[in-house]
Amino acid sequence: MINTLENKVVVITGASSGIGRATALLLATKGCQVVLASRDNVALEKVAQTIKERGGMCEIVPTDVRDEESVKSLFRRVIELHGRVDILVNSAGIGIYGSTVEASVEEWDQVINTNLKGVFLCTREALSYMTKQRNGHIISIASKAGEYGLPKLSVYCASKFGVIGFSQAVNKEVASLGIKISYLCPGYVETKFLDVFPREIISKANKARPDDIAKEIYSIIISEKNRAQGSKTIKYLIRRLVHHVIPQDWHNYMLV
């Protein structure tokens, strides 16, 4: 079987931990040239070391997805190194748990700027090159919390609802250019974010591993032969993952 990902240039934000790290490790084993982006340079070095020990290819570009110039610098560096960008995985994300009246403006800004503004900035920069290439694939990590509102997650929900709406809108802009736009709505994933939840909720929740989500991302990337079928990807994911009514045992289904 031909490896369709051999030497593909993949930019992954939030690559220092969690879903981003797992995705970087997996795609590197598939022959991708992975660009690791995160604010945590020490953790990135460890991820890069693991990739290289396994025979993979990667570069580190410390990046703050909340900062426009930092994001521009990331993609300039990618183009300097590789001359193109084939895939972007928007995985950087943070969250808070608590009532809306207890949330501070600072917390709102941190979550929105990372989860939504970061997706916007990285997507915009990637598209500036992908539109010239007439191909590319952007995958953003949304959440079940982006499909319906959940108690004590109003700020996080706002950011992930935004990711979904943004992805759907961008898809309609660029599908005819051979660029695919996808988003994934995982549930509880065994990452640092779970530390903010009460123990009684987490103990009842069905949890996925970052590796599980990385495999789903890989499946999305290789599943479409027609580069112009971004809308089909989104519709497929909606049919597969959306719950239109909040179930009583919502803690078993909410993906974060």
pLDDT in tens, 128-169: 999 999 999 999 999 999 998 999 999 999 999 999 999 999
Buried/exposed 150-166: b ≥16 CB within 10 Å, e otherwise:
bebbbbbbbbbbbbbeb
Q: Rounded distance, CA 47 to CA 90, Å?
A: 17
For the segment 194-212, what is each residue's pLDDT rounded down to a tens digit?
888 888 888 888 889 999 9
Q: DSSP strand E in the chain: where?
A: 9-13, 33-37, 57-60, 87-90, 136-141, 179-184
Confidence of residue 244 (pLDDT cuts 50, 70, 90): very low
For 245-256, what is each residue's pLDDT tens digit? 333 443 443 444
pLDDT at 22 over 90: yes
Which carries the bigger pLDDT value, residue 225 or residue 150?
150
Q: Would you name the residues annotated as active-site residues? A: 156
Tokens linked to 11: 């930019």
The pLDDT value given to residue 2:
54
Instruction: DSSP letter for 13, please.
Output: E
Q: Return left, alpha or beta for 26; rule: phi > 0 is left, psi -120 to 50 is alpha, else beta.
A: alpha
pLDDT tens-digit readout, 37-46 = 999 999 999 9
Sheet with 87-90, edge to edge strand ranges: 57-60, 33-37, 9-13, 87-90, 136-141, 179-184
State whether residue 189 is helix, strand or coil: strand
The answer to whether 81 touches 36, Cβ cutoff 8 Å, is no
Domain boundaries, given as residue ranges, for the chain? 9-252
Distance CA 234, CA 256 (A): 18
Q: Is there a contact between 70 and 64 (Cβ–Cβ < 8 Å)?
A: yes
Between 192 and 235, whose confidence is greater? 192
Contacts 24+ apart (CB under 8 A), 202-209: 204/249, 204/251, 204/252, 205/251, 205/252, 205/254, 206/252, 206/253, 208/255, 209/22
Mean pLDDT of the chain: 87
**What is the residue type of 80?**
E
CA nearest to 235, candidates 192, 183, 187: 183
CATH topology classification for 9-252? Rossmann fold (3.40.50)
Within 13 Å of residue 147, how many CA atoms lie on the same side as its CB? 25
Output DSSP code: residue 116.
I
Does the pLDDT value for residue 93 go beyond 90?
yes
pLDDT tens-digit map of 23-65: 999 999 999 999 999 999 999 999 999 999 999 999 999 999 9
pLDDT of residue 72: 98
pLDDT of 175 reads 93
